[in-house]
Amino acid sequence: MSQFNYPMSRMIAALLLLAPSLVMAGSYDDYFTAVKLNAPRELQKMIQRGLGPNMVEPEHGYTALMLAIRENSPEVVTLLLSNPDIDLEAHAANGDTAIMLAAFYGDLPLVKALLARDVQINRPGWTALHYAAINGNPYIIKELLDASAYIDTESPDEKMTPIMLAAMRGRTRAVRLLIEEGADITLKNAAGLTALDLARKYKQIDVIEEMTGTHSP
């Protein structure tokens, strides 16, 4: 072998060694593309090849299930939930969990399905009930409360309770339900504001009327 061919042979050998990792990188991209495009058959094939149901994408640290919830890929969600190795308690980089995202995006059937599998809903920091209050879906809020979600749980730093979040966003039905279920409307956030103060700050007239019992004719 000539001196010119020797370096070339080393280069070819190096490429052959790198080939499995390059293939894996391509499969990794295909995996999350299948999640985003709601392509369960393609995803299942990659899971069977060894990628598994709990792969984590790098941007937000979301698992495949979390990403499927965010991207509204219901068939992929169903596929992943049927996998015995699925981790329903996995946390994203920001602390989000599958049930938190289901609550945030207003997916009542999925919230019910996750609650039926006894996922954790009370934890330090942001919770599924916070996210449900932001969304404002009273049915999801009721499901969480019936599953013993702590009604006055506080968010980190700003100390926002679910009813504060619902009030400042004008979620009148959610505010009504939370009051009926016993939310403490006298609590103040880190800025010293109550839920009613926040409703007034953000000019949420319907919420103000709901909380004060004053309704326009």
Give per-residue pLDDT as tens, 158-216: 999 999 999 999 999 999 999 999 999 999 999 999 999 999 999 999 999 999 987 55
Tell me the Ramachandran region of residue 136: left when phi exceeds 0, alpha when psi lies from -120 to 50, beta otherwise.
left
Residues 132-168: tens digit of each pLDDT: 999 999 999 999 999 999 999 999 999 999 999 999 9
Number of other residues whose CB lies within 10 A of the CB of residue 58: 9
Residues 212 and 125 in one domain: yes
- Identify the pLDDT of residue 58: 87
Let me know the angle formed at the C-alpha of 126 by 122 and 127, rounded to the nearest 5 degrees.
Answer: 40
Which residue, of 95, 116, 144, is where some domain finishes? Answer: 95
* 209 in the same domain as 123: yes
The reply to whether 66 and 148 lie within a common domain is no
Whole-prediction pTM = 0.86
Which two three-digit tokens encode residue 131? 């996210």
Q: Are 139 and 187 members of one domain?
A: yes
Query: Is residue 1's pLDDT more than 50?
Result: no
Residue 26 has pLDDT above 70, yes or no: no
Is pLDDT at 3 greater than 90 in this prediction?
no
Could you tell me the two tokens for 57? 């994408």
pLDDT recorded at residue 59:
85
Please determine, for residue 46, whether its predicted confidence score (pLDDT) is greater than 50: yes
Domain with 65 in it: 1-95
Pick from 46, 63, 95: which residue ends a domain? 95
d(CA 68, CA 70): 5
187 in the same domain as 175: yes
**pLDDT value for 72:** 97
Q: What is the pLDDT of residue 157?
A: 93
Confidence of residue 93 (pLDDT cuts 50, 70, 90): very high
- Pair 83, 76: CB distance under 8 Å: no
Q: How many domains does the chain have?
A: 2
Looking up residue 132, the CATH number of its domain turns out to be 1.25.40.20
142 with 53, same domain: the answer is no
Q: CA torsion angle for 185, 189, 193, 197 (degrees, to 10)?
A: -50
In single-letter form, the type of residue at position 23 comes to V
Of 95, 118, 149, the position where a domain reaches its end is 95
